[in-house]
Amino acid sequence: MSDLVPDGWSFSYLSELCKFAGGSAFNEKYQGCNVGDYPFIKVSDMNIAGNERFITKSNNWIDEKTRLEGKTKLFPSKSVVFAKVGAALLLNRRRILIRDTAIDNNMMAATPYIDNGLFLYYLLQDIDLGDIVQSGAVPSVNQSQMDSIQVLVPPLPEQQKIAKILTSVDEVIEKTQAQINKLKDLKTGMMQELLTNGIGHTEFKDSPVGRIPVEWEVVQISKLCIHVVDCVNKTAQVVDHKTPYKMIRTTNVRHGRVDTENVRYVTKETFEAWTRRLLPEDGDLIFTREAPVGECGILNDSRGVFLGQRTMMYRADERLTSSQFLMYSIMSDYGKQQLEDFSGGSTVAHMRVPDCEKILIKLPPLGEQNQIVASLNSIDDCLIIKERKLSKSIDTKKALMQDLLTGKVRVQSS
């Protein structure tokens, strides 16, 4: 192997491997039809569950008559499609067609000249379109730019072997993601059941937040906490090096967890000034009241942590409830509805601090609360395991692509 090109490999322009073409305008009057001869996909169709690699579902279909009238182009099976304009382009998502398909004019398709076992899909996945976008307010790429990209290409048998290896990893990723999706659906259903009907109840009553068992109460969240604390109403000055003092921003609070690793750092003096009201403790519930409204998570490592802008902290009165029960209540359908009601009157969704204290909580006896939390925790524990597996598989794929698509690691063709 030379310093640049592995033995048997060669540099090629993408135009030598595939034909690029943009999609067609999609007349609004034909949109929304769910039957027809051909799927007509938009960028948003890449977000549909089940379309993570192959386009198997579409929100829009057209018949042959409509296609001919609109002079709509079709792209064949095994074409690779992607966004060619706007912020979606920078996400670098690629999808594979499994049948003749129309795409709208915000997308582009790459149709391979030969059947190379999905190698083109992985080759295009490895290209960051952000590096070649046309300058301007709206990022975009055109056919000539794509044609002129130069890539390293192995012999066809090796292309097919590389694609087979990467496909096997993709299948693990997709299977794991499907398991995660099912667990999330199960959790949503269990939250609705447990926080509406409770455990073993047969008699119910109406309340300001819907039907509840007769033994339950409805209480404002502030009355269930020994502290409800807002952030300091200005942005802390950060430093460009690690310190023991970490600012928790709204982006660090997601899906019941608080990320204390990917943070910004401050000096000891800033930390002391920003925690003068109250030092966070392990087990505190962190809540975002803007950007976005309503994310919440349990703080598991409070060392050197303080609240950044637009965050709140609840410390549960453990004689009455727990931070985890409050968290699940806020994340429930009835909790989300309250957050929407509190934040819906503004141009940019946000909750006022007084409203954050008024959230109503359905309150079972403490023992039943603990049972509900244990049931939901068991699902969260499974989710954590699956998400770690997913993250590891994604990292494995990235490493394999780096090795296999450069020839650093060679594979024997079958």
Residue that is written with structure tokens 């608080």 in the block: 258
CB of 229 closer than 8 Å to CB of 277: yes
* Omega cis (within 30) before 213: no
Question: What's the token pair of residue 307?
Answer: 């609240």
- DSSP string for residues in 341-405: HHHTTSSS-B--HHHHT--EEEE--HHHHHHHHHHHHHHHHHHHHHHHHHHHHHHHHHHHHHHHT
> Which stretches of the chain drop beneath a pLDDT of 50?
1-2
- CA torsion 96-102-104-106 (nearest 10°) is 30
Confidence (pTM): 0.89
Cα–Cα nearest to 236, from 302, 173, 307: 307
The CA distance from 178 to 300, in Å, is 28
Beta strand 38-41 with 102-103 is: parallel
The secondary structure of residue 155, as a DSSP letter, is: -
pLDDT at 345: 64
What type of residue is 259? D
Distance of alpha carbon 279 from the chain centroid: 31
pLDDT at 24: 97
How far apart, in Å, are the Cα atoms of 60 and each of 54, 74, 105, 218? 16, 14, 14, 45
Range(s) within the chain of domains with CATH label 3.90.220.20: 11-153, 217-363
Q: Strand runs (DSSP E) across 262-309, as ranges?
A: 264-266, 285-289, 293-298, 305-307
Cα–Cα nearest to 108, from 190, 19, 169: 19
How far apart, in Å, are the Cα atoms of 178 and each of 2, 257, 375? 43, 21, 21
The 10 Å Cβ neighbour count of residue 380 is 17
pLDDT at 414: 57
Q: How many Cα atoms sit within 13 Å of 95 on the Cβ side?
A: 31
The CA distance from 377 to 220, in Å, is 24
The CA distance from 146 to 393, in Å, is 29
The CA distance from 234 to 360, in Å, is 28
For Cα atoms 381, 387, 392, give the angle at the middle one, nearest 5 degrees: 130
pLDDT at 1: 43
**How many helices and strands (H and E) does the chain possess?**
9, 23
Question: Residue 360's beta-bridge partner residues?
Answer: 220
pLDDT at 299: 98
The CA distance from 51 to 60, in Å, is 14
Q: Look up the CATH architecture of domain 217-363.
A: Alpha-Beta Complex (3.90)
The superfamily in CATH containing domain 11-153 is: DNA methylase specificity domains (3.90.220.20)
CB of 351 closer than 8 Å to CB of 342: yes
- Cβ burial, residue 161 (10 Å; 0-12/13-18/19+): buried
pLDDT at 346: 63
pLDDT at 3: 57
